[in-house]
Structure 1
Amino acid sequence: MRDIFGHHKQDFNEIRRLCLICHGLDLTTSSLSLPTSRLVMSESVEDTLHNLVSSNLLSLVIAIRVNLYQNVIDQPNLELPASSWLYYDAKLIEKPATLKQVCDKIIHADSFSKTVPPSGLFDPEYKIAVQFKGVEFKKHWTLNVVIERFVEDILSLLDSIEQSMPNKNLKRDC
């Protein structure tokens, strides 16, 4: 007998695929929320969009987390100041979140939401963060992530890892 599987496999191209899907979904949620959108989102469309964002974002951060655990991505403490901020509700001091924190908080969040501001209140050039909330050791926390920028951070990170190790084939069975 032989085993056909060894360990979890989430190669960089799979992470890239999930990044691009999440990037597109984030842009979709923003564009469908604009007053110029011709679509008034029904409850069914909102539910479908919620499921798509939730399942693909969870798949992405689990894939990243597997690579962190396997040390393929060896920067768990990489801060993401352009895309992700974390604070504990008792202190209300927002700090850039690390890559591992973003993955862990998204996985363990009790809730997540993307608030759509009323027309004219917000400059469309600004990016709206998705807000994740949860509790860790009886401390309530809030993680704000601009998904579009987060996935751009991840795509850049993967490229830099591959460029720094030209002799290693990181598309291997990770």
Structure 2
Amino acid sequence: MVLGMLPDKDRSMREAVETEMVKALQEQGYQATSAFEAYGPKSFQGMNEQEVMADLKDNGIQAVMTVALLDKEKEQQYTPGRVDYQPRLGYNPFWRRYVYYYDRVYTQGYYTNSTNYFAEGNLYDVGSNRLIYSVQSKTFDPSSMANLAKDYSKVVVKDMIQKNIISSHKG
């Protein structure tokens, strides 16, 4: 089961992360499900960790992957203006020859804004309530929430396979 641990105001982000992580795991041959899909938007609200693990165990869940947004920071960067020189060719009628000269071209400075997301993913064995895998990541200014969720999920699943946390059952 994949469980996005995000506040209600980030519900669409939670749905996207859970959905994409489920897809990435299913592509590797795992039977995965989304907590949002199985339990709804208020999944496990008001329950402590032991109650959640007992509920998951009762429902046949063997492992749970939690994804939490640790921080979201906005950055503004200034790119200074510059002066470029552009060559020009001119004709001097008095000397009857062509001459080169350079025009100055000014480019104004500008500001760019970006948003960086810091996330943490943890994989727990439900039977033993033991942490199997943990990863923290920083994503730089994703083009959309869907792309952020898809890229994050693929990278995390690939890392789990490389570290022999899970194996690829594709085929």
The answer to whether the superposition gives a TM-score over 0.5 is no
Decide which structure has greater helix share.
Answer: 1
Task: Select the structure of larger CA radius of gyration.
Answer: 2
When normalised by structure 2's length, the TM-score is 0.29
